[in-house]
Amino acid sequence: MAYIPLTSNQGAAQAIEDGATLAECVARARNTNDLPAVLKVFQITRKPRCEKIQKGSMENGDIWHMPDGPEQVARDADMKVTMEKLAAKEAGTPIPKESKVVKSNPNRWSDEEFQPWLFGHDAIAHVCLPNECETSCGLMNGDRLIRNLMHC
């Protein structure tokens, strides 16, 4: 998949994840006849994650290249609050009650929910999400071979 700048070296990391995921999928093939299903598993597994990372990159592009003005001032205020909360959390001090509630850090790569999701991903373990294949991967009842490959 092509990656947008503003993800730093994330494109290289995604290529490594792609390789690990593809290797795990291919390792589950019993013979060459399984390869079409294996490639479908690869796509089902990787596409949502890659799309979310690309979206985060585009959002960062919007955030970091925002013209001066009211939106930029609001972004800076949100970033300040999230950084103050992070510093308080790391120092073990209470977060001031007057701190404005911010859902997430506007900078996706610094967001305390997005960052662990991005950097803590286990590409091999993600190939099979036990008991979640239908909901997470959108498998249909007829995808028996894919279920077998994913060990669901």
Q: Which residue has the higher pLDDT, 115 or 145?
A: 115
**pLDDT digit string (tens) for 88-125?**
888 888 776 655 556 677 777 777 788 888 889 898 88
- Rounded mean pLDDT, 17-44: 88
pLDDT greater than 70 at residue 144: no
Q: What is the pLDDT of residue 97?
A: 63
Three-state secondary structure along the chain?
Answer: CCCCCCCCCHHHHHHHHHHHHHHHHHHCCCCHHHHHHHHHHHHHHHHHHHHHHHHHHHHHHHHHCCCCCHHHHHHHHHHHHHHHHHHHHHHCCCCCCCCCCCCCCCCHHHCCCHHHHHHCCCCCHHHCCCCCHHHHHCCCCCCHHHHHHHCC
Instruction: Using the predicted structure, report yes or no on whether residue 53 has a pLDDT greater than 50.
Output: yes
At residue 152, the pLDDT reads 47
pLDDT for the residue 130: 43
Does pLDDT of 132 surpass 50? Answer: no
| Position 7 pLDDT exceeds 60 | no
pLDDT digits (tens, 9 = 90+) for 62-76: 888 889 999 999 888
Q: How far apart are CA 27 and CA 118, in angstroms?
A: 25
Average pLDDT, the chain: 77
Q: So what's the pLDDT on residue 107?
A: 77
